Amino acid sequence: MPECIVCKENYEVGQPCKRCGSDNNGWEEWKREEKALGPKRALLRFLEPYFGLPLMIAGWALAFGLMGIIWPWGGVKIYVCILAVALTFVGCVLTVPAVYEKRFSLREQELLRRVKRGRAKGLGVGTRVLIVSVVTLGLIILLMLLLVQSEAVWKLMEWLMLEDTTTVEGSSPPQEELGFKDKIRRAFPLACLGGYITLVAFAYSSSLMLGQAYAKRLSEEVPPPIFLQERLLVKIVRREAERVVCRPITQKVTDDEKAPNGDEKAPDETEQEPRSWTWDEMERTDDGGIRLKAIVKAPSEAGKSSIEWAEDIIYVVEADPWSRITKVGRVKGT
Residue number with CB closer to Zn ion (8 or 116): 8
CA distance 83 to 54: 20
Q: Considering the complex, what minimum distance in angstroms separates the CB of residue 197 from Zn ion?
A: 45
Q: Considering the complex, what minimum distance in angstroms separates the CB of residue 12 from Zn ion?
A: 11
Q: Considering the complex, what minimum distance in angstroms separates the CB of residue 234 from Zn ion?
A: 15
Show contacts with Zn ion in window 13-72 (CB under 5 A).
17, 19-20, 22
Q: Which stretch binds Zn ion (CB under 5 A): 2-10, 32-40, 115-123, 206-214?
A: 2-10
H or E segment to which residue 282 belongs: strand 276-284
Residue number with CB closer to Zn ion (19 or 116): 19
CA distance 55 to 142: 28
Should residue 4 be labelled a site residue for Zn ion when binding is judged by CB under 5 A?
A: yes
Residue number with CB closer to Zn ion (17 or 190): 17
SS3 250: strand
Q: Considering the complex, what minimum distance in angstroms separates the CB of residue 100 from Zn ion?
A: 25
CA distance 31 to 36: 9
Residue type, 306: S
CA distance 159 to 153: 10
Show contacts with Zn ion in window 120-179 (CB under 5 A).
none
Residue number with CB closer to Zn ion (28 or 312): 28
DSSP assignment of 306-331 equals: TT-EEEEEEEEEEE-TTS-EEEEEEE
H or E segment to which residue 278 belongs: strand 276-284
Residue number with CB closer to Zn ion (19 or 186): 19
Residues 6+ apart with CB under 8 A from 32: none
H or E segment to which residue 295 belongs: strand 290-299
Instruction: Say if residues 313 and 273 touch (Cβ distance below 8 Å).
Output: no
Task: Give just the sign of the alpha carbon dihedral 90, 96, 100, 106.
Answer: positive
Q: Considering the complex, what minimum distance in angstroms separates the CB of residue 288 from Zn ion?
A: 17
Residue number with CB closer to Zn ion (60 or 104): 104
Total residues interacting with Zn ion, rule: CB under 5 A = 8
Instruction: Say if residues 274 and 263 touch (Cβ distance below 8 Å).
Output: no
Q: Which stretch binds Zn ion (CB under 5 A): 7-15, 159-167, 267-275, 295-303?
A: 7-15
Q: Considering the complex, what minimum distance in angstroms separates the CB of residue 224 from Zn ion?
A: 12
Residue number with CB closer to Zn ion (20 or 210): 20
SS3 17: coil
Q: Considering the complex, what minimum distance in angstroms separates the CB of residue 57 from Zn ion?
A: 39
Provide the binding-site residues for Zn ion, judged by CB under 5 A. Answer: 4, 6-7, 9, 17, 19-20, 22
